[in-house]
Chain A
Amino acid sequence: MNPLVLWFHKLGSPPWFDRFAARWAPWAFLAGALVMGVGLWGALFEVPADYQQGDSFRILYIHVPSAWMSMAVFGIMAIQAAIALVWRIKLCEVLAMACAPIGAAFTVITLLTGSIWGKPMWGTWWDWDPRLTTELILLFLYLGVMGLYNAIDDRRAAARAAGFLAIVGVVLLPVIRYSVVWWNSLHQGQTIRVFGESSMDPSMAWPLWWRVIGTKFWFVGSLLLRARADNLRREAGKAWVARLATGSERPHPAAGREPAR
């Protein structure tokens, strides 16, 4: 059999995934920290100050990668959810649900940094900028997925329902974005694009790419860790988990039961 296909099959087996995630998560975090660190150092020290905004624009190097990740993670979550729903692969359910908190965190960072960036520009902490408003709604979508996943007891049914919501969300996200942009143009006329990504001098762009790639590594590390935890929790009644935890074959009698609420 094709080695790539074989690798995918293996990855779907919970014990194999556990070993895979345990092995690679630390490396992903390390790579992420290093690459982001280079980007940050470049952003803070190497790049010249913007002629218009001075030094306050430097927060862009955190804000923009976070914004891109918040969107990308939602897309990844929806794809995983679609695979999980159509082919009923357990691992994809776990991965999809692990994406949600990470994406929500990136969204919060985007909102906070956007607000901090905007304060010197607008004079207020919040100006209903269309991009930030869309990010806020994206946060609600993430919270909805997480809330739905936690509200259902059966883990597989919960993942399917929350995954379905993620798919509906990703389909409607462009519509939401367009409607917010239209709304903004209606009520505030032509806004000066404070968060425009066009016209950035190449000498200032390189830390951005380091940051973007760094956040991707960080995301992978975070995803592997969260997915590993969820995977272990789901499989808690099985022998391989018991072996991992205690070194004995017998699963704990309470394993697999949801904790009393």
Chain B
Amino acid sequence: MTPSLAGSARALLARDFRLLWRRRGDALQPALFALLVVVLFGLALGGEADALAGSASAVLWVAVLLAGLLGLDTLFRGDAEDGSLEQWMLAPVPLAWLVAVRTFSHWLATVVPLVIATPLLGELLHLPKAELPVLLASLALGTPLLSLLGAVVAALTVGMRRSGILVALLALPLYVPVLVFGAGSVAAHAQGLDPVGALLLLGAGLALALVLAPLAAAAAIRIALS
């Protein structure tokens, strides 16, 4: 009985959700971090509606991006340390497929709670109501793209003990276009322009990344663990 793509995906998703359930508390950490960032910005900017409303969408985007960056550490580290990643490399299913499924379950677990919390966080920053739908759309398209790009960076640094700031440094240039089009779409909408162009670009990037990022990350894992 050799595993099919669907079968191995099912097994990996089942495993990841069981692990997530056993460590439910950890799953909320990115959302908590984003909340912290938002609170700090609110405090630093003085808490007045006018001062906050203008930068609210940008601050939220940065908070989600940073929280996702922190969460990137848990994408492959656990599996690398206990030898599971090795077994993935030896499996008859393509490593890129396993990486894609793993990135998906990681995104669901760490980022989706963030995006769900966004309206609440938006309230803290007096985000104009009209901007919320565009913000959510940009996050829905942008965060999986960030996860996929982040997977490549996480894969490159998977063997390392203390990667720390290095992961952030490596990910930053790759994240810039996503941030630009993501936060930019909301800014465009706020200026009265059509955000659809930017959102479509995010969508196109996501479509490309869905195919290319797992392949790149798989190659990077093999390089990093050799």
- Is there a contact between chains A and B in the complex with CB atoms less than 8 Å apart? yes
Residues of B within 8 A of A207 (CB): none
Instruction: Give A150-187 as 1s and 0s: 1 = Cβ < 8 Å from B's Cβ atoms.
Output: 01100001001100110011001001101110110011
Interface residues in B, total, Cβ within 8 A: 29
**B188/A157 in contact, CB under 8 A:** no
Contact B184 A186 (CB under 8 A): yes
Cβ contacts B197-226/A at 8 Å (1 or 0 each): 010000001000000000010011001101
The answer to whether B40 has its CB under 8 Å from any CB of chain A is no
Is B75 an interface position by the 8 A CB rule? no
Would you call B173 and A148 a contact (CB within 8 A)?
no
Find the residue from B169, B172, B216 having the highest chain A CB count within 10 A.
Answer: B169
Closest to A157 in B: B226
A152 to B156, CA, bound (A): 11
If A151-B163, A182-B181 touch, whether A165 touches B169 (CB-CB below 8 Å) is no
- Least Cβ–Cβ distance between B12 and chain A, in angstroms: 24
Q: Is the CB of A147 within 8 A of B166?
A: yes
CA distance A6 to B223 in the complex (A): 30
Contact B184 A140 (CB under 8 A): no
Residue pair B170, A172 in contact (C-beta under 8 Å): no
Q: How far is the CB of A126 from chain B (nearest CB, A)?
A: 17
Interface presence of A83 (CB below 8 A): no
**Smallest CB separation, B153 vs chain A (Å):** 8
Q: Which residues of chain B have C-beta atoms less than 8 A from A186's C-beta?
A: 184, 187-188, 191, 193
- State the Cβ distance, A142 to closest chain B Cβ, in Å: 10
CB of A116 within 8 Å of the partner chain: no
Residues in A with CB closer than 8 Å to B223 are 85, 157, 160-161, 164
Among the listed B169, B172, B180, B205, which residue makes an inter-chain contact with A180, where contact means beta carbons less than 8 Å apart? B180
Residues of A within 8 A of B176 (CB): 137, 176, 179-180
Binding site for A on B (CB under 8 A): 152, 156-157, 159-160, 163, 166, 169-170, 172-174, 176-177, 180-181, 184, 187-188, 191, 193, 198, 205, 216, 219-220, 223-224, 226
